[in-house]
Homo-oligomer: A and B are copies of this chain.
Amino acid sequence: MSRAFNFSPGPATLPEPVLRQAQAEMLEWRNARASVVELSHRGPEFLQVARQAEADLRMLLSIPDDYAVLFLQGGATAQQALIALNFAAPGQQADYVLTGHWGLTALKQAAPYVDARIAADGETGGYRDIPPRAGWRLSDDAAYVHYTANETIHGVEFREVPEVGNVPLFADFSSSIAAEPLDVSKFGLIYAGAQKNLGPVGIAVVIVRRDLLERAGQPRAPIFDYRAHLAGESMLNTPPTWNWYLLGLTVKWMLDEGGVAEFARRNARKAALLYQAIDGSGGFYRNEVAPAARSRMNVPFFLHDPALDAAFLGEAAEAGLISLKGHRVLGGMRASIYNAMPEAGVQALAAFMRDFQQRHG
């Protein structure tokens, strides 16, 4: 067998050089005479791994010094509960902008702790566009405004950071962090599960403006306290060391490849190629998202005849293109084309789509 082009939405494909380095170091990390996964998180070797990963991530994303970076467990979903506990008074209003499945998940995780309001909801349009900013119902008293930068299921992405006034803007960037340059200073908090664009599963990143950590929040266990995690350098308890290490390798790879500016160019080319393959198919394939809101990272599409879905998936797999089945919420197909997906993979997919259409059209 050989490696396929893997369009999985997350966990997702990793850069092959990262996997090869992890493979080479699996039994012994440098001179440690042990694997990274066996090293104490408090020993000098792992501290070096952890600190280098943070320094590289700060460089990759141009994170200002007045922002703290946390490396945590629980994925993005746990952060969706923790942001309410850490930054809102009990029952305080928080405004949620919904542009797909994950925005609603964020609201549900916070709902036990805050007065979670829907400021805008794209559901009436089938989550095919971003509700116009003018119609958002925001409160000046809200603890924060939350939105989902990229919706992995519905394939809807904000291409600009919305203006929300003085209330801190919180955003789930799980599936589009590092996809292009971003002005972090526009945000109060950014969080992301790493398993899409930052590498491995099992670790999440929180980037938070330091002054917000002075908010009292709500009664909570120390392990749910971001301030405590920061004071403990994200080692309040044993962190997921190997995952942190793999994140570091992936971030370093992105820097070596040219950083987010270069990935923005590659991602624009990849997305354009794939949407052209869909739009140019004369209706054989379709994507219903408004062009200005189309995701560069997750491209859902449907065959004109769902009876062809199984053949499409089977033949694609034979052609070395895997994990193209759409999310069960939407059905159809979905190609996730994160930073680690090479342009050759998207070219191969577009070519396969044309070929499949010729044979089944």
Contacts and interface: CB of A to CB of B under 8 A. Distances in A.
Most chain B CB atoms below 10 A, which of A3, A28, A242, A323 = A242
A190 interface: no
A147 interface: no
Nearest to A81: B221
13 contacts: A1-B33, A2-B33, A6-B38, A10-B40, A19-B26, A73-B78, A73-B240, A74-B74, A81-B221, A109-B223, A195-B238, A201-B241, A242-B242
Contacts of A259: none
Nearest to A202: B240
Give the copy number. Answer: 2
A215 interface: no
A286 to B, nearest CB: 24
B38 A202 contact: no
A202 B73 contact: yes
Contacts of A40: 8-11, 323
Interface in A233-256: 236-243, 246
B8 A221 contact: no
A278 to B, nearest CB: 22
A279 interface: no
Q: How large is the interface on A (under 10, 10 to 19, 20 to 34, 35 or more residues)?
A: 35 or more
Nearest to A113: B221
A202 B242 contact: yes
Interface string A1-21: 111101011111110100110
Contact of A33 (B109, B111, B240, B320): B320
A37 B195 CA distance: 9
Contacts of A38: 6, 8, 11-14
Interface string A29-68: 0010111011111010000000000000000000000000
B73 A223 contact: no
B3 A27 contact: yes
